[in-house]
Structure 1
């Protein structure tokens, strides 16, 4: 170390001792420009003249950091490089204001090897790094600081001898940094271990001078930092969770992979996999099948599994290969979906051994396009997501009172614009349906069209001026069925059969027998009409015991259009499909449904106003894993219970999926498992919901009646007692209060979801009166300040199914901006009710509230 640098280090160290010893405000030392190199000055002046953006991710360090194209490596322009070749801890301290003033979201620091090469003592290096971490936290409390271990070195190349003989000192620094992490409020990341060979030296393949990294080294570094950069779990999370998962030592590097080997009759799966890899930037150009180089293999072989062998798979990842084995092409396809999740960073899959199979054979998703038309491209988007999460039945509800969307060559008047009430002239051609069927087939998804009969058929009646149950109507519908079955040759036809007065008791039985003549199985809603025993019943409402001689699909309380987004994930995760832990010959499985009765402003709103993707992933987990709990439950569970812990583990995986794969898709869900509410009541309001009680005058903090976890709290569901809320014996004319605390790292406005009545998209619910949250006089206070309700666009308006929802739900209006002070903030919610009797069918009483920060805050 030259004299100027030595003097600068001494000054810094003295300041550090004074600051730490007295817990005083930290100040940066001032150095003359001559202390640092020309290159250092060049880089620093460059940094200072770049646009001053905030909330970025900054990589801070020396030449090893300087050498990476971080934004390209992570495909994120918010990641900025602040590495300077030759830099030392003192140099970082001297330029720390340039970093701190930007108020970055995260800083990843790697520094110290150059200090050691100049014979600085390990404890000096550690103390300087601790100063850097402390100063960043002082100047920018919202910044997450990550201190990385110093990388190993290797003298094999006879270069950088002053650096490569410092292995022992590097280990000493790393050990001290790891031990000091908690006390100094930073996250320590051990990258040293992964770069070491068995002798504790830098792996020669990752460097060409023993100190700096080659491209492969930066890819490994990316893999190690990936979960920290994007706030993910340490290992790739899998959803649905496999039946058996064993993590092993080592990893498979995709950049060394040369080929994908596939058995005969797996051309579709091989082509599908190659396209997925290409989309991740992994190009397979050498199709060497010798197995001498790292490879991926798709292999057909019989597997021994507990059940559902047709979809079971085995996936093994080693340093040399990734092998997916299954008894069928469908099993291979399922294994490919898991592999894609293992390759979350597009670079490396950690070694593991997975054996997996589903609990239910029927894992479906239904879309109603009769009421609101959706384009083929939007439907494909949803089908693709189904495939990624191993759902295997796509149910398309094509006909409705609103419109008939399925084209008929013989009866083109069915899809004429004049007979449609919404999205006039929008329907699916023969080519459209065939395209959707092919798209599903490539993804091992069964396509199930629905022609609803004899109910929900007003569009049919408008086109033909006759009832479907009449002799004329039966002849026409049989012609349509014949045309459809012969044109598309699908395996199932859903015939509807519910919510209609049956005037012809032979209608449904006759129609089902006619469909069966084309070797097509029938499905009907239950409760519904009198369908034959060989027709699969799709349950949509609670009814009596299941007849084991019949076949069933469960859709009871699985209608996403009725669910609050936060409630939907909780309810579906808790569900025991068909009241059984796994399927059998009678219970095939289940199906989530989207019945958006209300008109939408644009087709994409169906995915935003309904929790389609969060609900789909929760259902994928439950229908694949099986299990669940008896009854229909809307609550996560009390804090510190097994139920709450189980949900939190799932939610962490769900949030990881959202961050990685739904950046450009509507995903109305945020983490809620850490939000704990204390409830106080009940208070008798004697029919006056405006009556004030003790909690409004002094926010309580003890003696709660009960506690509950989550962002949406349903005190009493409109379908109670079928759907259980928090209060089993809820009484009319009562008021409850709930309170929680939320931590904020700094003063400022934060985004919140707040609501008191999540409107079903199938009911003509009234909009709240001006100046109110709801028509029950609910209220919310933040740190004692009463929060003003939204200014509703259609305030006080009667419900109207033809008027699209605009701002009535918290998930599709701009989040509330709430000012939080640094530290703990108190939230108090008041939820009164008078009567549980609905004003009319469109205004059921769902006694509830939602309060949730829409980013990650600590709550208690």
Structure 2
């Protein structure tokens, strides 16, 4: 009802202003897109004669506007309390509505006015002005004429930054906060502690600064590459409490709330290195030098652990006024707890059924303490395990299940799904991309995400508070790389969080994004600019033939391509229709705009063998996030070692058992499959891979078997078969099952990863 009232008031005000406009102008390149906007050919010039008229309660907001103007022109404008001829007006009008953060912006040739119900709305209006203006001389800014009525779709709009894996300076953090403000993000989630480093000064525990904040060296390359290589350089750092106060104040001036995250009970190796008595084994421990999940966590059986964490939280809460205090709660192995006398005694004393319930006890105890201080606990969706603490808010990162579970218990949820909103994933499948965590999250996938549609049950929608993007820093070892991975996905997420649900024009968004490139460059944002690169779709797979299509978001460009692996040039065939492939081919393509090549060369290989496009059935479908139709195993596309292209099928707690029907009895001489073997991702080769043949689909005989998979990475198994005539081929890969003691993820289920099946 509040939003309906606000919309009615805003539209009425906007229509009144619109009636006064005489000349319309094209849409401005604003991100996020406002609720309602019209543009005119009027221009307001910010000059030496401009003054800022502001309410007394908006002095800080006026100072922010002045600071932005100073950055652009070197000039500081005077504040006044009476109107003048050329002025910028900031005004609070509580009659607009009680709905937070909305604003009205009017720009004419004589006046710029921002009216809002609250100061946060004033700042959002100022950020819109920043996107509307452009310099006409070094000392003069021109602001495009506009009438805008705007307010946010979601109350919570967040962005996360991990500084534990790689440390970022205070200057960078401030710059990042300015970027969040530009796109109307109102929560900065600061991930301050993890296995690889503790980044916040806690005066009561000085070893957190002298020991936990540092690691001896850092992994080079991806953690899946073995043997692991390291740089041999000690690295780390931490923020002093004075620096944190400065950052919090800087964010507050932009009406951005800073949420601190102190990880517990897992991801605690750095803290345990400084204070080993807090662990179950009592150490010694070592701050992690590579990425992953580690068995050593805070001991849940000793009260000294909770005393330590309460002391830490006391100092944290004194620094951060945020209502939310994030305690992580994710990826906590229970291995140490299962063998810890103190933890087992706690389970007995509290009448808990198992270690999962012990984690719930841990979270509830911390939640009660945070609540006693007038704050609220927030954590990743693992805090649901064993029962959710009363009043806790859940960040649902592993999909929608955690969100649905929490909402059904009437807990608020912030949608943070890994597949759509983790900005440490690759932005493209081009091999030139620098190493990233994994996954593939292109810009259009971020822009297309809608948490309300994902939730499904409309009764749960009131509990979805908003969305948040995540920037985990394992592979963000420079500020340039951090910005490259975050932008332009952050603006896409911001538009989904702010703009009305019906705003879904990706092409329009990319055009506005391109128009903002000068602004991003001026703000020294090293954004990725490859979102218009070429991609492909495998449209159909039939026996011995593939049909593919090429596409790009660049509407004014042409695609030139080859299928023989040669480099395309200005004379190569122009892509118009789908491409048919009936033999092994490497398609390469290049974008051309105004006759000149732009961007990078696209490349994708396609293999055709007897199994390609054949009918295939699985006894049990892939049951992990690496799922999909069985046709992926015979579609002519081999998955890569980044396992982010959607080609792998993953099986947990079950074997691969597939049958391929070649259609007719045929002579074969070779069978094979691709097997992914990355123990650091809990991906294990099968204990055996066997091929059997049959002419009738009932009686099978052995064709070939292999039991060893020596390659750390993709094992391309190709086995010779004494000439046989078969129609049906059965492929069985036996899952390793439980991961052995001493291995990464010991005690958990291994993941069997299989891709292209080969028959020649």
Shorter chain as denominator, the TM-score bin is 0.5 to 0.7
Q: Which residue does the alignment assign to 2:37? A: 245
Q: 1:275 aligns with which of 67, 92, 111?
A: 67
Compared with structure 1, are the counterparts of its residues 269 and 604 closer, same or farther at alpha carbon in structure 2 (3 Å cutoff)?
A: same
- In the alignment, the residues of structure 2 paired with residue 753 and residue 399 of structure 1 have an alpha-carbon distance, to the nearest angstrom, of 40
| Shift in Å, 1:800 | 8.6
| Shift in Å, 1:389 | 0.7
The alignment status of 1:661 with 2:451, answered yes or no, reads no
Structure 2 counterpart SS, 1:265: helix
| Shift in Å, 1:375 | 1.2
Aligned partners of 2:588 and 2:604 also within 8 Å: no
The aligned runs of 1:115-264 (5 Å cut-off) are 236-255=28-47, 257-264=49-56
- In the alignment, the residues of structure 1 paired with residue 513 and residue 73 of structure 2 have an alpha-carbon distance, to the nearest angstrom, of 24
| Shift in Å, 1:302 | 2.6
Compared with structure 1, are the counterparts of its residues 628 and 411 closer, same or farther at alpha carbon in structure 2 (3 Å cutoff)?
A: farther
Aligned partners of 1:314 and 1:326 also within 8 Å: yes
Q: 2:367 aligns with which of 468, 487, 512?
A: 512
- In the alignment, the residues of structure 1 paired with residue 249 and residue 55 of structure 2 have an alpha-carbon distance, to the nearest angstrom, of 22
Q: 2:592 aligns with which of 738, 743, 767?
A: 743
Q: 1:605 aligns with which of 481, 495, 498?
A: 481
- In the alignment, the residues of structure 2 paired with residue 304 and residue 419 of structure 1 have an alpha-carbon distance, to the nearest angstrom, of 48
| Shift in Å, 1:289 | 4.8
The alignment status of 1:535 with 2:387, answered yes or no, reads no
- In the alignment, the residues of structure 1 paired with residue 732 and residue 599 of structure 2 have an alpha-carbon distance, to the nearest angstrom, of 32
The alignment status of 1:500 with 2:327, answered yes or no, reads no
Q: Which residue does the alignment assign to 1:460? A: 271
Compared with structure 1, are the counterparts of its residues 491 and 709 closer, same or farther at alpha carbon in structure 2 (3 Å cutoff)?
A: same
Structure number with greater Rg is 1
The aligned runs of 1:223-372 (5 Å cut-off) are 236-255=28-47, 257-281=49-73, 283=75, 285=77, 287=79, 289-302=81-94, 304=96, 309-345=99-135, 347-372=141-166
The alignment status of 1:475 with 2:351, answered yes or no, reads no
| Shift in Å, 1:710 | 4.5
> Larger relative CO (CA 8 A, sep 6+): 1 or 2?
2
Pairwise CA RMSD? 4.3
Structure 2 counterpart SS, 1:495: strand
Counting matched residue pairs gives 500
Q: Which runs of 5+ in 1 are unaligned?
A: 1-197, 199-232, 630-642, 686-692, 696-703, 714-732, 758-762, 764-771, 779-795, 802-831, 848-860
Q: Which residue does the alignment assign to 1:91? A: none
The aligned runs of 1:822-833 (5 Å cut-off) are none
- In the alignment, the residues of structure 2 paired with residue 756 and residue 595 of structure 1 have an alpha-carbon distance, to the nearest angstrom, of 29
Q: Which residue does the alignment assign to 1:554? A: 415
| Shift in Å, 1:706 | 5.4
The alignment status of 1:427 with 2:238, answered yes or no, reads yes
Q: Which runs of 5+ in 2 are unaligned?
A: 1-21, 219-233, 280-297, 335-354, 430-440, 560-581, 606-625, 627-637, 645-675, 682-715, 719-730, 737-743, 745-749
Q: 1:392 aligns with which of 164, 186, 195?
A: 186
Aligned partners of 1:373 and 1:603 also within 8 Å: no
Question: Deviations along 1:59-95, whole A, 9 cap, x unmatched?
Answer: xxxxxxxxxxxxxxxxxxxxxxxxxxxxxxxxxxxxx
- In the alignment, the residues of structure 2 paired with residue 739 and residue 360 of structure 1 have an alpha-carbon distance, to the nearest angstrom, of 42
- In the alignment, the residues of structure 2 paired with residue 526 and residue 798 of structure 1 have an alpha-carbon distance, to the nearest angstrom, of 26
TM-score with structure 2 setting the length: 0.58
| Shift in Å, 1:488 | 4.0
Q: 1:445 aligns with which of 235, 238, 256?
A: 256
Aligned partners of 2:152 and 2:497 also within 8 Å: yes
- Between stretches 381-390 and 347-356, larger displacement belongs to 347-356
Compared with structure 1, are the counterparts of its residues 246 and 518 closer, same or farther at alpha carbon in structure 2 (3 Å cutoff)?
A: same
Question: Deviations along 1:133-181, whole A, 9 cap, x unmatched?
Answer: xxxxxxxxxxxxxxxxxxxxxxxxxxxxxxxxxxxxxxxxxxxxxxxxx
Compared with structure 1, are the counterparts of its residues 844 and 613 closer, same or farther at alpha carbon in structure 2 (3 Å cutoff)?
A: farther
Structure 2 counterpart SS, 1:452: strand
- In the alignment, the residues of structure 1 paired with residue 309 and residue 598 of structure 2 have an alpha-carbon distance, to the nearest angstrom, of 56
- In the alignment, the residues of structure 2 paired with residue 746 and residue 593 of structure 1 have an alpha-carbon distance, to the nearest angstrom, of 39
- Between stretches 524-533 and 414-423, larger displacement belongs to 414-423
Point out the structure with the larger helix share. 1
| Shift in Å, 1:241 | 0.8
| Shift in Å, 1:576 | 0.4
- In the alignment, the residues of structure 1 paired with residue 643 and residue 27 of structure 2 have an alpha-carbon distance, to the nearest angstrom, of 46
Aligned partners of 1:684 and 1:734 also within 8 Å: no
The alignment status of 1:627 with 2:501, answered yes or no, reads yes
Structure 2 counterpart SS, 1:414: helix
Question: Deviations along 1:385-434, whole A, 9 cap, x unmatched?
Answer: 00111001000111111122222111111232377435645111111211
| Shift in Å, 1:490 | 3.4
Compared with structure 1, are the counterparts of its residues 326 and 735 closer, same or farther at alpha carbon in structure 2 (3 Å cutoff)?
A: farther
| Shift in Å, 1:257 | 4.6
Compared with structure 1, are the counterparts of its residues 410 and 298 closer, same or farther at alpha carbon in structure 2 (3 Å cutoff)?
A: same
- Between stretches 380-389 and 660-669, larger displacement belongs to 660-669
Aligned partners of 1:368 and 1:396 also within 8 Å: yes
Point out the structure with the larger strand share. 2
